Amino acid sequence: MIARIKAKYPEQIAVLTQNVDDLLERAGCVGVVHLHGFLPEIYCEHCKKIEYIGYEAINAKEHICKCGCKKFRHNIVMFGEQAPFYKVLYNELNALRKAEDSLFVCIGTSGQVLDVADFARFAKNSILNNLDKSDIDHAFNKCYIEKATTAAPKIEADIEKFFS
Ligand SMILES: [Zn+2]
């Protein structure tokens, strides 16, 4: 659903995720912003060049960066580290706030790491989908407390209604 709706409205929709896996990409979603890093990537600790390795194991002793460095690490933001893509997040939140009409859709988060309840207040309309009720529900205009698989068609209809 996310890939389809993003393909239909590529300029109007931003897809940001806290997930580090490539499930959205595997579903065909383009332009996903991975706020907390991306598991299929490593980067050189010297020149910071990011390299896509997928989910294949690499021989750490023989793997050498073009800069000559042999020290790599996963491209995951660890607790307490700077998250470089938060800049994109804040730009998108600012766009939500400035827009005449805006919609913030949040799927599958407790809001413990990122304060999505606060983000919802930036948008004119907001939708939350979680499996269980939580204390962030009140911040959203609409809540689907159910599996994402059953909520997805409803959210897609909501998004289509928003754009119509
Ligand atoms: Zn390097």
pLDDT of residue 58: 87
Q: Give residue 154 CA to ligand 1 midpoint distance, Å.
A: 46
At 60 the pLDDT is: 82
CATH architecture for residues 2-35+82-163: 3-Layer(aba) Sandwich (3.40)
**What are the tens digits of pLDDT across the range 76-123?**
999 899 999 999 999 999 999 999 999 999 999 988 889 999 999 999
Map out the domains of the chain as residue ranges. 2-35+82-163, 37-76
Least confident range from 28-32, 56-60, 90-94, 151-155: namely 56-60
**Residue percentage of the chain with pLDDT more than 70:** 100
Alpha-carbon distances of 18 from 45, 70, 73, 114, rounded to whole Å: 23, 29, 19, 9
Mean pLDDT, residues 139-155: 97
How many A from CA of 50 to the centre of ligand 1? Answer: 9
| CA–CA gap between residue 82 and residue 73 (Å, rounded) | 15
Ion ligand 1 neighbours (CB, 5 A) are 44, 46-47, 49, 65, 67, 69
